[in-house]
Structure 1
Amino acid sequence: MAGVAYNGSSVAQSTKGGHVTYNIERYSPPTEDQSGYWYGAGSGSTNAQISSSGVSSSSTVYVNSKAVTTVGDRDSETWVASPSVPSSSGSTRYVDISPGTSGSGQGTVSTGSSTVFVSGKAVASIGSTITTHLGTTTTITSGSSNVFVN
C-alpha cells in the first residue's frame, strides 16, 4: 500500500518533446549587386521540462495535519525550454519561437484509490498520476509515511 498524498506533496518532473518550435534564418552578406538579407534555413524544436511546486489539495479531511489530495485536485506547474533555444549569432538567428521559452499552468490529479474516497473523490497516494497542463503524465512522489491507501 502507498502513503496518502496530501497538500504540498511533491511531483516528479516531466518532459514534453518538441513543445517549443522555432525557425532558423541565416544572413547573406551584401555583394556589389545586392544588399545583405536573411533567408530561411530550416526549423527546429526543443522540449519543455515541466516542474511542480506541489499539489494543492482542497479536501476537508486531514492526514498528518495536511489536507488529503483527491482526484481532480490541482498541481501548480512551470515549464522551461530544455535544452534552451540556441542563441542567435551574427550570421544565424532563431525566430518565431512558439509558444515561447517558458510558461506555467495547472495539472490535475487523474488517478487515485479504487476503494478509499473523500467527498466522493478517490484519495490520491504516492505514485498516483497527474496529467500536466501540457498533456504529459507524471506521478506524485511524496506523501504520508504512516497513513496508507490501496
Structure 2
Amino acid sequence: MSDLITEDEFAIDLLARIGEPAIPIMKRKMRSNSQSVRFAAGDVLVKMIEYHPDALSNLTSAIDKQGIKTIADNYIFYIRLGQPGTEKIILKALRYNFSLTMGLDLLNCGSSIIEEGAAKIGRENGYTVNSSVGSHPGPRWGSGN
C-alpha cells in the first residue's frame, strides 16, 4: 500500500488511518531519493494527525523541545504541516544539518520567511542561489492540511 502513495489519495488516507504502525515506513520514505515519494509520505503523516494525533507526538513535540535533529530528519512533515511560528526552528534545523536536498526543498516551499532564510544559509554553505519560477516543485508550506 505504501508504494501507492504518490498516485492515489485513497492510499494516503488509508495509511493515515492506520496510524502508528505506518509511521516508521513514512519516516523512511521522507528520506527517499524520489521527490514525489518524500512529499507524499509527509502528506500521510500530516493527515494522520486528523485520525491519530497522539501517534505523532514525538514529531509534533520536537518543535517545542527544539528537537533540531528530529526536525531536520522529518522536515517534509513540518513543511507540509505549515504551522505558523515554526519557521525559525525549521531554518535552525537546516543550518545545523545542511544538505543540498533539504536546502532546495526549503528554498521552494512557499513560505517567504523560510525561502529567504534558506537562501542565506545556502550562500553561507558556498552555493549560489538564483531565483526562478517553477524550477523546483518542492513541498508546499501547509499543503498537507
Name the TM-score class by shorter chain. Answer: under 0.3
More helix per residue: 2
More strand per residue: 1
Compute the TM-score of the two structures, normalised by the length of structure 2.
0.20
Compute the TM-score of the two structures, normalised by the length of structure 1.
0.20
